[in-house]
Amino acid sequence: MASSVFMALYRPKKGKENELKEILKVHISTLREEGLITIRELLTLQAEDGTIIEIAEWKSNEAKEKAHQSAKVMDVWKKISSVAELTNLSSLAEAQVPFPNFKPL
């Protein structure tokens, strides 16, 4: 039952930053209600370009797979996708330097 930490990066579509932040408030609580992530404190950061980064811990590899089978989780992910582009760490200017800094949210 090894756990793993995930980093999700969401670049808000133009004018959708506040809507994304509201959806993300429900995201982690949904993952917790479904028993998919640990109680480890969530870390939410923001890059200079507005990308929001969530860092949390899956309870197990099985939990990560179960997330894709949960109607509640999939509904939240669909909402996130409607207001943000899912991106990766290498797309951020901060990732190009050692010891990058992000704004805590």
Mean pLDDT in the chain? Answer: 95
Of 39, 83, 45, 84, residue with least CA distance to 57: 39
Query: What are the sequence ranges of the domains in the chain?
Result: 4-87
Question: Taking 70 as the threshold, does the pLDDT of residue 59 lie above it?
Answer: yes
Provide the pLDDT confidence category of residue 1 given band limits of 50, 70 and 90. Answer: low
pLDDT of residue 57: 96
pLDDT of residue 3: 79
Instruction: Walk across the sheet containing 52-58 and list its strands.
Output: 84-87, 4-12, 52-58, 43-46, 103-104
pLDDT tens, 18-29? Answer: 999 999 999 999
Looking at residues 13-21, what average pLDDT do you find? Answer: 97
The class that CATH gives domain 4-87 is alpha beta
Provide the pLDDT confidence category of residue 83 given band limits of 50, 70 and 90. Answer: very high
84 has which bridge partners?
12
For 45, phi then psi, to 5°, come to -130, 165
